[in-house]
Structure 1
Amino acid sequence: MDLPRSFVIRESSHRIHDPLTGEKLATLGRALRLPPEARVLDLACGSGELLCTWARDHRITGTGVDISTAFIGRARARATELGVADRVGFVHGDAGGHVADEPVDVASCLGASWIGGGVPGTVRLLQRSLKPGGIMLIGEPFWRRRPTEQDAVTGCHVDSVDDLLLLPGLVEQFGALGYDVVEMVLADQDSWDRYRAAQWLNVRRWLDTHPDDELAAGLRAELDTAPARYVRYEREYVGWGVFALMRR
């Protein structure tokens, strides 16, 4: 049980595995006004930056769960680096089946709603771990503007234009599921640049040192086209944000 090696290579330098900068993650932490000792569960936590920096800055405690052995290793190292290993812990496992032993103040899944089969299923999964009156965090892409050509749709890494909603439709979806949107922090094009462009440098440096690896040809072909594809399609059409929800 692990992520594909190609994904780990692409994001080998990333602390945040979404188009969210460290500054925006910090903005989100401040906006939530969490009390010290608030308990956070972060499903598909990646390299643990949310839990580690919020433990340092806001004195939260918490647990992160992720399927990637590499990312869990980095999360534990980051917790040690920031001096918060006594406040946060990380579990290698299937986040899609994880429910907290005791209800938490914040239940989070940023950029991985596939663990619940989509937004509605992920909301139901997170709710199982959440205290009454707690805050749920969902990180999700949306259309900045709907493409009209299939080339643009596939260029944004989705199969159908219906796979994403416009921002108003996404916010309305949360309401239809029975939740108030009480905060949000949205990525911008610079956030996307920092996320995607860092992947290209990671891939290129890996190719330079692993030319004979079985993945080299595929990653070389990817790097040949990824930058132009990104600036032509994804950068123009796709937004991304973290939405803080409270149950009605």
Structure 2
Amino acid sequence: MDIPRIFNITEARHRIHNPFMPEDLETLGAALDLRSGTRILDLGSGSGEMLCTWARDYGVVGTGVDMSQLFHTQANSRAQELGVSGLVNFCHNDAAGYVSTEKVDIAACVGATWIGAGIQGTIELLNKSLRKGGMILIGEPYWIQTPPTEEIAKGCLAGAISEYLLLPDLLAFFNQLNYDVVEMVLANQNGWDRYEASKWLTMRRWLEQNPKDELFEEVRALLHSEPERHTRYTREYMGWGIFALMAR
């Protein structure tokens, strides 16, 4: 079980697999008024940075679930590095359909809503693990401005313009699902650049070390195209944020 290998290659050096910076996670943790013993489930937890740093800073406990064997290993290493292995654990598993055996205070899916075939399905999945009165965290892209053409939307790596919403429309959609939006922290331009641009040096070093690998040409093509694609499309049109929701 693993994610497509190309993502393990391009994001091998990432601690956070979305456009958030460490200070954004700090801001979110403080905004949520996290307390010692708060139980969190993180589906699609990547390299575990959110759970590990919140365990260190606030004493939260929890479980992260991710399909990537590499990210799973990195998450366990990060927990050991920060001295929080007794507070958090990481499960190498498919997050799609995963339900905690124990109800949690916060159920999160940060940047992986494909596990529920979209926002609504992911919220429904997370709710199965959530205690009554608990909080859901959803990390999701949105349009800063609507792309004028489908070609531009695809340049942002969206399947179509309809795949994402403008920020006010995204918040309205949460409202339509009968959830109050009780907090949000939005990524900024620097977060996007760090998420995207740090892949480029990773890819270049990988190419130098793996000239005969079967994915060499694919990685070579990405390194050629991604700097222009990011600066032409993502920086102009894409936003990203984590939204805290509570059912009414």
TM over 0.5, shorter chain: yes
Q: How far is 1:154 from its partner?
A: 1.0
Cα deviation, residue 150, structure 1 = 2.6
Equivalent-residue separation in structure 2 for 1:6 and 1:58 (angstroms): 34
SS in 2 for 1:16: coil
What is the Cα deviation at residue 102 of structure 1?
1.1
TM-score, length-scaled by structure 1:
0.99
> How far is 1:151 from its partner?
2.4
1:10-89 equivalences in 2 (<5 Å): 10-89=10-89
Matches of 2:159 and 2:81, distance apart in 1 = 40
The match for 2:163 is: 163
Q: Could you say which residue in structure 2 is the equivalent of 1:216?
A: 216
Deviations 1:196-248 (A, max 9, x none): 00011111110011111110011101111110111001111000000000000
Contiguous gaps of at least 5 residues in structure 2: none
Alignment partner, residue 6 of structure 1: 6
Residue 46 of structure 1 aligns to a residue whose secondary structure is: coil
Once the 2 structures are TM-superposed, how far is the Cα of residue 115 of structure 1 from its aligned partner? 0.1
Q: Which amino acid aligns with 1:169?
A: D
Task: State how far apart, in whole Å, the 1-side matches of 2:222 and 2:237 are.
Answer: 20
Q: Which residue of 2 aligns with 1:101?
A: 101
Ranges of 4+ aligned residues in structure 1 off by more than 6 Å:
none
- 1:234 corresponds in structure 2 to 234
Over the matched positions of the two proteins, sequence identity in percent amounts to 54
**Cα distance in 2, alignment partners of residues 58 and 130 from structure 1:** 20
Shift of 1:31: 0.6
- In 2, distance between residues paired with 1:246 and 1:151? 36
CA RMSD of aligned residues (A): 0.7
Deviation (angstroms), 1:5: 1.2
**In 1, Cα distance between equivalents of 2:142 and 2:32:** 22
Q: Which amino acid aligns with 2:132?
A: P
CA deviation vs aligned residue, 1:45-66 (integer Å, no higher than 9, x gap): 0000011000000000000000
Q: Please give the alpha-carbon distance, in whole angstroms, between the structure 1 residues aligned to 2:164 and 2:97.
A: 24
Match of 2:245 in 1: 245
CA distance in 1, matches of 2:213, 2:96: 32
Q: Deviations for 1:102-127, whole angstroms, at most 9, x for unmatched residues?
A: 11000000000000000000000000
Work out the CA distance in 2 between the residues paired with 1:133 and 1:149.
41
Residue-pair matches, total: 248
Q: Which runs of 5+ in 1 are unaligned?
A: none
TM-score, normalisation: structure 2:
0.99
